[in-house]
Structure 1
C-alpha cells in the first residue's frame, strides 16, 4: 500500500529533490507536488485522508488568500496548515518547514500530528527519512 503525500513548497527544486529522495526509499508513495496554495488546497480536498503533508511556511498567497493578511506570503503556509488542522480531512502527520528561524509555527506544533522540520537543520535526505518513518523528529 502506498503512502499519500502532499507537498506544498514554492521552490520547485526543493520539491523535485525531496520527491526524488523519497522515491529512492523502499516505500511506495503517491506524491502530489504543489508549488502554490491554490493547487494544494484543491488537491488536499480531493481526498478524505492523507498520510503525510509537508508545508513550507513561506509561500505566495495566491487567490485562496487574496483577502487574508499573510504578511506578504510570510505566513501563508502557516495559515494553510491551520486550515488543514481545522478541516474534516484526516491526516497521519504534517511537517512544517521554513528557512526562517526555528519556532515560527509554534502554535501549530502543539497539535499532536504536527512537527517542525527547519530547513537549516534537516537535509532532504533527513526529511525523507522522517517522512518514511526511519527516523523521528
Structure 2
C-alpha cells in the first residue's frame, strides 16, 4: 500500500508537533519546579470566541457551555496519540460530565464531520 503525499505530509506535521510539544514540556519541566508548572488562576482566563459544528451539524461555540468547566480537546483522526486518549476522555465525561463539567472534543480534520463520522463508524466496527 503506497501512501499519498498528503498522508505523508500529515504524518510529518503530526510528528513535528509532537516533538515540539515534548521539547517544550521537557524544557519547561527542567527549568521550573513542580509547583510552577501549572498556573491556577483566581478567575477563568477568557478564550476568544469561535464557532464549530457539532456531531448533529448544529453551529456551536464555547458560549454554549457557559457556567461549566470545559476540557476542550483539539484532535484529528490521523493523530495516533489523539486517538489513543479518546477512551480516557470518554471515561472522564462519563464520570464527571453534567451541569458543571463537559469534555468537548473538537476535530480539526480538513474533511469535516464526514471524516470524523467515518472514523467513529470504523472504530465501532473493529
Common topology (TM > 0.5): no
More strand by share: 1
More helix by share: 2
Q: Tell me which structure has the larger Cα radius of gyration.
A: 2
Q: TM-score with structure 2 length normalisation?
A: 0.29
Q: TM-score with structure 1 length normalisation?
A: 0.27
| Larger relative contact order (Cα-Cα within 8 Å, sequence gap ≥ 6) | 1
